[in-house]
Every structure is written in structure tokens, then in C-alpha cells.
Amino acid sequence: MIEFILATGNAHKAEEFSELFDSKIITIKAAPKKLEVVEDGLSYFENARLKAEAYYKEFRIPVLADDSGLNVEALPNELGIHSARFGGVDLSDVERAQLLLNKMDGMTNRSAYFTCVICVYINEAEIFYFEGRMSGSVGYNYLGAGGFGYDPVFIPLDGEGDLTVSELTEWKKENSHRAMASRLAQKFFSQRS
């Protein structure tokens, strides 16, 4: 069993990650304190590593960090690695999702996908990456009370009809971009001696 601290100040992510791993293989605990890490990388991989490396240098124990976001085909440079800051840092999740719906008003191309890149930073010589994606489309309305972020406006391709991720909380546990990346990490560490 390997124990990691999670490099995040996001309580939702910490809770979600702890449910995604088999505790006999990987356990996740909150970092002793939140660090302010400048995420100025040009990719999910770079930003995940920046967070993992900062937490490792501070606490000197293995770290799991992720960077994730929503990639919208019709707005190629607006979200992605900037998803959490889309519209400005002062917006709430609801306001950010509503802004996305407003910007896409009248657009027919609503293709989108969520990306999650996990960086596992065991030490300076052992750094591993795992990527998961969830394809779908941006809906036309804000629907559902589950999940967070853009979940209420995202309709997954492999979901149940026109329901948003926010309306599919049980489905999300198995099929989200974060779940996919976590499964890859768990498989890798379960086979590692």
C-alpha cells in the first residue's frame, strides 16, 4: 500500500479522490496545509507536475496532484488549462458554468471533453503521469445538483441520454475523467513491486 498526500486546496477533489482508489493499494490524505502554487504551465501535465513538485519539496513525502479542465471545441483557447479561472478568479462555479452557456448561445458545435492528468511524485527520480478523458458536449441549460464545476452543463457521450454529469452522480464515480486517470494509476501501482 502506498500513501500519498493530495496537492490541492479543493475539498471536492480530495473527497472524490479518496473514493476512487482501493485503500489496499493507494491511500490519499489531505496535505497538512494548502500551498499557493503558480500554475503557469502550458499543459495539464506541466501544471500537475508544478503542484506535485511544490508539495513534495514542502513536505518530503509522496504526492498525488492533478490538473483538469473542460476543453470546448468551439472555444479552443478559453477553457482547457484555464477552466478554473474562466471569466475571472472571482466567479463562482455556477457563474462560470453560466458564462459558458451564455458564450455558446446560438452555437451548434457543442463538442467538449474533460481532461484529468494525475502526476504522482514519489521523489525526484520517480515521477509518473496518468491521463483520463470524458467526451461529450456542452448542454443548453444548467441542470442537476450533484457534482461541481462544469458538471451541470456537461452531457457525457457515454452517459444516460441527455442527462448532465451533475444528474449522474453514481455514474460519474465510475466514468469521469478523474476516475479513468485514477484507475490507470491504481493499476500501475498494483503491478509495481
Residue pair 27/4 in contact (Cβ under 8 Å)? The answer is yes
Catalytic: 90? Answer: no
Q: Which three cell numbers stand for residue 103?
A: 458564450
Q: Which three cell numbers stand for residue 106?
A: 446560438
Is residue 168 a contact partner of residue 156, using CB atoms and an 8 Å limit?
yes
Q: Packing angle between helix 177-191 and helix 11-20, nearest 10 degrees?
A: 50
Q: Are 84 and 66 in contact (CB under 8 A)?
A: no
Distance CA 62, CA 160 (A): 37
Do the Cβ atoms of 119 and 44 come closer than 8 Å?
no
For CA atoms 91, 110, 11, 63, the dihedral sign is negative
Q: For the purposes of burial, counting CB atoms within 10 Å of the CB of 93, is it exposed (0-12), middle (13-18) or buried (19 or more)?
A: middle
Q: Which of 40, 67, 90, 105 is catalytic?
A: 67
Residues identified as active-site: 67
